[in-house]
């Protein structure tokens, strides 16, 4: 079984300073596997959230990371889609049953047997699944994504989670030329969602909380940038939007946000606040509004998203860090001090 150097965290709760370099064994290359030399791995807020709760979830060292980009180093004998040297990515999951109605529909994230996440839990054989804070990884070919040449390999990493998380609802709800879209939040998710919606032809308004991001919102393709503090602010934008996408993990006053929607307008959240959300059905009734959420997308949709990003010049804004900067990056994420996504240069993981 091949060995690889990783950055692992012992089960010590929220003490992020205990990341250490160690060696783990990956599975041997099977006929349908692709071996990948990892070049970059993005950091998602869910990485730090899972690591923060590691004492109650896992009783072992854990290797986080589910926004993986790299180069194919070897392929199994039955792999025909990829070749050594190809630019590839691995996202949130690495296996599913492949047989249930959801897998057959290209929605592996809802696999009835249970999708295998890249680093949360074990695979079907009971082996530990470890993520992308690593020099290399071995993944079944049908869960490996091709990264188009037009995409920078480092910038592609956040697209494998933040990108598909925001592309999925925009595609599912038919955002197109003429759509009027509001994006709540201009963080790691919001700045990518703004670019996607703009490139789909929508008229985009970003709803933020800081004047300092107004210019950047317009650079990402927003037509307008609004800060809504009072009922008068919400009334001013009454009925203006067909679709509202919340990318923030905070409790919103949904009864006020419903005012922004047109008749049959849809509000969708990809941000996952811990607090229970409260709203009145009466606030939704007169315009027959919908409130929903969105998960990540399946493999086929993720590949479509990568191709769309390449063809339409969608570029996540990243801050490159070394592996030893990860603890500080986690703290900065918790303090909302990142501009806009952290990406780890895996060459900094000591040989």
Asked if 61 and 8 count as a contact pair (C-beta separation under 8 A), the reply is yes
pLDDT value at residue 22: 79
Residue 27's region, left for phi above 0, alpha for psi from -120 to 50, else beta, is beta
Q: What domains are defined for the chain? A: 3-152+315-348 (3.90.180.10), 162-293 (3.40.50.720)
Is the bond preceding 340 in cis, omega lying within 30 degrees of 0?
Answer: yes
pLDDT value at residue 52: 63
CA distances from 315 to 23, 192, 306 (A): 33, 8, 11
CA distance 147 to 73: 15
pLDDT tens across the length of the chain (351 residues): 577 877 776 544 455 556 777 787 788 899 999 999 999 999 987 776 676 655 555 556 778 899 999 999 999 999 999 999 999 999 999 999 999 999 999 999 999 999 999 987 778 888 878 889 999 999 999 999 999 999 999 999 999 999 999 999 999 999 999 999 999 999 999 999 999 999 999 999 999 988 989 999 999 999 999 999 999 999 999 999 999 999 998 889 999 999 999 999 999 999 988 788 899 999 999 999 999 999 999 999 999 999 999 999 999 999 999 998 988 888 888 787 888 899 999 999 875
In DSSP notation, 233-269 reads: HHHHTTT-EEEEEE---S---HHHHGGGEEEEEEEEE
Asked if 36 and 76 count as a contact pair (C-beta separation under 8 A), the reply is no
Nearest in space to 134 (alpha carbons), one of 85, 61, 52, 54: 61
Strand pairing class (261-269; 241-246) = parallel
pLDDT value at residue 18: 63
pLDDT value at residue 8: 73
Asked if 115 and 57 count as a contact pair (C-beta separation under 8 A), the reply is no
pTM here is 0.93
pLDDT value at residue 128: 77
* Residue 81: other Cβ atoms inside 10 A: 12
Q: How many residues appear in the chain?
A: 351
Core vs surface per residue 15-39: b (16+ CB within 10 A) or e = ebeebeeeebebeebeeebbbbebb
**What is the distance, to the nearest Å, from the Cα of residue 323 to the centroid of all Cα atoms in its chain?**
20
Strand pairing class (19-25; 203-208) = unpaired
């Amino acid at each position: 079984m091949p060995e690889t150097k990783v950055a692992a965290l012992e089960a010590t709760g929220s003490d992020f300073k205990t990341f250490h370099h160690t060696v783990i064994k990956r599975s041997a290359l099977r006929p349908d596997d692709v071996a990948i030399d990892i070049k970059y791995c993005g950091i998602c807020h869910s990485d730090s959230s899972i690591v923060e709760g590691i004492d109650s979830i896992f009783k072992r060292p854990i290797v986080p990371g589910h926004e993986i980009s790299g180069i194919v180093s070897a392929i199994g004998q039955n792999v025909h889609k990829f070749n050594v040297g190809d630019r590839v990515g691995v996202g949130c999951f690495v296996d599913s049953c492949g047989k249930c109605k959801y897998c057959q529909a290209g929605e592996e994230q809802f696999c009835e047997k249970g999708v295998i996440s890249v680093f949360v839990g074990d695979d079907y054989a009971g082996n530990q699944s470890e993520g992308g804070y690593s020099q290399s990884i071995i993944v079944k070919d049908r869960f490996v994504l091709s990264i188009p040449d037009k995409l920078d390999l480092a910038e592609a990493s956040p697209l494998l989670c933040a990108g598909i998380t925001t592309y999925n609802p925009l595609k599912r709800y038919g955002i197109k030329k003429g759509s009027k879209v509001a994006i709540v939040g201009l963080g790691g998710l919001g700045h990518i969602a703004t670019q996607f919606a703009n490139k789909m032809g929508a008229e985009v308004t970003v709803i933020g909380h800081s004047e300092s991001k107004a210019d950047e919102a317009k650079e990402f393709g927003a037509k307008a940038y609004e800060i809504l503090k009072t009922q008068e602010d919400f009334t001013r934008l009454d009925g203006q939007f067909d679709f509202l996408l919340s990318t923030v993990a905070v409790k919103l006053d949904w009864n006020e946000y419903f005012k922004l929607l047109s008749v049959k307008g849809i509000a969708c959240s990809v941000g996952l606040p811990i607090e229970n959300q409260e709203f009145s059905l009466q606030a939704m009734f007169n315009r027959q509004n919908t409130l929903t959420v969105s998960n990540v997308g399946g493999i086929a949709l993720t590949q479509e998203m990568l191709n769309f990003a390449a063809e339409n010049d969608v570029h996540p804004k990243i801050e490159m860090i070394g592996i030893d900067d990860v603890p500080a990056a986690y703290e900065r994420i918790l303090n909302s001090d990142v501009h806009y996504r952290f990406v780890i240069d895996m060459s900094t993981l000591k040989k």
